[in-house]
Chains A and B, each alone.
Chain A
Amino acid sequence: MSAPFSETGILGSAGVLALAPALGFAFGWFLERGGLGSARKLAGQFYLTDLTVFKVMFSALVTAMLGAFWLDRIGVLDLGLVYLPETWVIPQAVGGALFGAGFLVGGLCPGTACVAAAAGKLDGLAVMAGMLLGTVLFNASFDWIAPFFDSSSLGAVTLTQLAGVPASVGVLVVTAAALAGFALVARLPSDARSVPRAKGGALALPAVALAVSALLLDLRSPVAASSPAPLLAGDFMSGPELAGRIAGQDAALRVVDLRARQDFELLHVAGATHVTLDDLGRGEMPRDGQIVLYANTDARAREGLRLLRSRGYPHVAILHDGIGEWIGRVLEPRLAADATEEERQAFNRAAELSRFFGGMPRSNVPRSELRRDYSSREFTRRAIAGIRRRGC
């Protein structure tokens, strides 16, 4: 696996940052070429007089989906390391509805507003200004919105994981639905009188071939379709246990941070060393000591565990839920206002460790604000911002 370059270290973070404008340029170019810099064309989508939005959006989605699936399966791109947006059912449903209303009235979405503005459309600039205003309004009322904003979290999860089927099933269903949609809109009156038959139609065949063979691949080798070998309870260490061992000055213990250097510099587990996957286990580490590692994604932590064991380190464990667990259970343990005696005792132990590491235990918290899941990267990002604000 050589990609994503940002995670495998082939391109440094400066290199990745330097390519951002180039990717954006190509994105803006194709949006404009396709006609998505025009508010009237976009709005036509909602009156079925111009289906350009649907055609561009779903052919882009299907292309990227098929490409990502196959690059992962042939071993080029590790999809487990690509950031998967997290799911928050109700805020995203409501946010989508508000967004759709704004899209209809504004006639442009944020990306296409930038393209329209770049082409001289003043209405594009007005949409951009409105976007900024809306963002500032949201930020200003965040305390009030937060309980709703943080509700119904499912973490990073795909539709096929929820349905318990291989990813290829989702790939095939989405491809088939998109192609059926394309065939359907070609029958609309708006398209019947449109310019020559779309050349893009020829691309439907390779899309079908790639989607069908994806499913065949998963049916033939179900091992590849399912997740990697399950980890055992002994492969994990909890935040409080790790904290106890660090506080107890366990000399043979090494803590390894596999995240990007930027993340490491913002906040890391006390005494941890930053290492890339390539350098893992090549430096000086006692072979018989306990090594605990953590990363931003499960897939990366598993990869680290596998590498270290193959490089001759038998005692390796993953810090369960990584830095999120360290923050949630070690630095900022919480106690519910209506806590049971048992919870109170566990909190007292946690609070002692928390203060040892300069954390901030909180008691008397409404039970609804207790966390059971520490894997969310968004929660972690916000918690880190909060810790830095306090000036740790």
Chain B
Amino acid sequence: MSREERPFADPYLAGVGIGLVLLAAYVIAGRGLGASGGFASVAAAATAAVQGPERAAQSPAVAPYLTRGIASPLTDWLVLELAGVVAGGFVSAWLAGRARVAIERGPNVSSASRMVAAMGGGVFMGVGAKLARGCTSGQALTGGALLSAGSWIFIATCFASAYLLAPAARKLWR
């Protein structure tokens, strides 16, 4: 892809754009945006595929995701929304000349370490988002804008923890 890479948009304008999308979600769907909930549905579908639906439904943590949606957990609202996120992210990156296969990493870390760190970070976020009942999209943005008490607890401890640990993780990024 030889397209020239274009600069990013003004973050405040991008933010206002996301805010209007979130507002549209409240108006249309009576709920906000989310991401980790979509992962939970996919994880439930995968569990059902591996163990069989009967056995998967025995787990009180998996069962609620199997009874939602119309036909399967994959038709859940959040899964469809997340598929849209992937499509929107791709089209935007492609038009701006930013779509290319790469591993983005800090200057002092190997690609292999970066991949391991990314996956490990994902595992922590998977558990954290389950405990918190949402992630940066479903709690921080969606609940934060509705002034939900729990969402602001999430925002506070999420950033506090990241800033507290940042010096220890310096080698990954600086």
Q: Which A residues, 26 to 46, have Cβ-Cβ distances below 8 Å to chain B? A: 26-41, 43-46
Residue of A nearest to B144 (CB): A61
B138 near A106 with CB under 8 A, answer no
B21 near A27 with CB under 8 A, answer yes
B28 near A4 with CB under 8 A, answer yes
A30 near B21 with CB under 8 A, answer yes
Residue of B nearest to A55 (CB): B11
By a CB distance below 8 angstroms, the chain B residues around A44 are: 173
By a CB distance below 8 angstroms, the chain B residues around A156 are: 148
Residue of B nearest to A143 (CB): B60
A105 near B124 with CB under 8 A, answer yes
A348 touches B (CB below 8 Å): no
A64 near B120 with CB under 8 A, answer no
Of A132-140, A208-216, A283-291, A357-365, the one touching chain B? A132-140
Given A58-B15, A97-B128, also A27-B88 (CB < 8 A): yes
By a CB distance below 8 angstroms, the chain B residues around A43 are: 106, 172-173
By a CB distance below 8 angstroms, the chain A residues around B33 are: 23-24, 27, 111
Partner of A99, one of B86, B88, B135: B135
By a CB distance below 8 angstroms, the chain B residues around A106 are: 117-122, 124-125
A38 near B104 with CB under 8 A, answer yes
Partner of A121, one of B103, B119, B158: B103
B7, B61, B165, B174 — most chain A CB neighbours (10 Å) = B61
A95 near B15 with CB under 8 A, answer no
B88 near A103 with CB under 8 A, answer no
A133 near B28 with CB under 8 A, answer no
A93 touches B (CB below 8 Å): yes
Of A249-257, A318-326, A378-386, the one touching chain B? A378-386
Given A40-B104, A46-B163, also A139-B122 (CB < 8 A): no
B157 touches A (CB below 8 Å): yes
Q: Which B residues, 1 to 49, have Cβ-Cβ distances below 8 Å to chain A? A: 7-33, 35-36, 39-40, 42-44, 46-47
A122 to B116 CA separation, bound complex (whole angstroms): 11
Chain B proximity mask over A64-81: 1 for CB below 8 Å, otherwise 0: 110110010000110101
A337 touches B (CB below 8 Å): no
A159 near B89 with CB under 8 A, answer no
Given A61-B141, A130-B120, also A24-B149 (CB < 8 A): no
By a CB distance below 8 angstroms, the chain A residues around B63 are: 382, 385-386, 388-389
Given A100-B159, A103-B162, also A67-B18 (CB < 8 A): no
Q: Which B residues, 129 to 150, have Cβ-Cβ distances below 8 Å to chain A? A: 129-150
By a CB distance below 8 angstroms, the chain B residues around A32 are: 88-89, 92-93, 96, 98
Residue of B nearest to A58 (CB): B15
9 inter-chain pairs at a CB distance below 8 angstroms, sorted by A residue, are A30-B18, A39-B105, A63-B19, A82-B32, A84-B148, A110-B36, A138-B127, A139-B59, A159-B152
Taking Cβ atoms with an 8 Å cutoff, the residues of A that contact B are 3-7, 11, 13, 16-17, 19-41, 43-47, 52, 55-65, 67-68, 71, 76-77, 79, 81-89, 91-124, 126-140, 142-143, 145-146, 149, 154, 156-162, 167, 170-171, 174, 182, 195, 198-201, 203, 262, 266, 378, 381-382, 384-386, 388-389
